[in-house]
Amino acid sequence: MSIDALSAANAYRSQLKLQSDITDAPVQEEANKSSFSNLVKEGLESAIGAQSKSESMKMDSLTTGKVDLADLVTAVTNAELSLNTVIAVRDKVIGAYQDIIRMPM
């Protein structure tokens, strides 16, 4: 069995590519983790912002009476929708955690 220089170079190149793919995988996973955590953080900040906007519009409506009723209803509905979304995500996370805990070892 003879190995020529071209096949040896191709084998070496494919091994280098495999090795670089393996060493790059943790970097990509870390980037995915940070982007997922950023997504969750932004979602929660958005929900908190909708809640605070709704509360401030309610207080302005009660104190000054200069808030349009349609704007107030829209703000309250957006706050309720964002709260329901946060609750649904929380329930899914808890359900997934419980499924993992119930897995046999």
Residue boundaries of the structural domains of the chain: 5-102
Can you tell me the mean pLDDT for 94-101?
Answer: 92
How many helices (H) does the chain have, and how many strands (E)? 2, 0
67 conformational bin, left if phi > 0, alpha if psi -120 to 50, beta if neither: beta
How far, CA to CA in Å, does 64 sit from each of 55, 68, 69, 75, 94?
14, 11, 13, 17, 42
Q: Which residues contact 53 (CB under 8 A, 6 or more apart)?
A: 75, 78, 79
Pick 104 or 18 by higher pLDDT: 104
> What percent of the chain is modeled with pLDDT above 90?
19
Average per-residue pLDDT for the chain: 80
What digits encode the pLDDT tens for the residues 25-74?
555 555 555 687 888 888 888 899 999 999 998 888 888 888 888 888 99
Confidence at 1, pLDDT banded by 50, 70, 90: very low
Contact 67, 60 (CB under 8 A): yes
Residue 82 reports pLDDT greater than 80: yes
3-state secondary structure of 4: coil
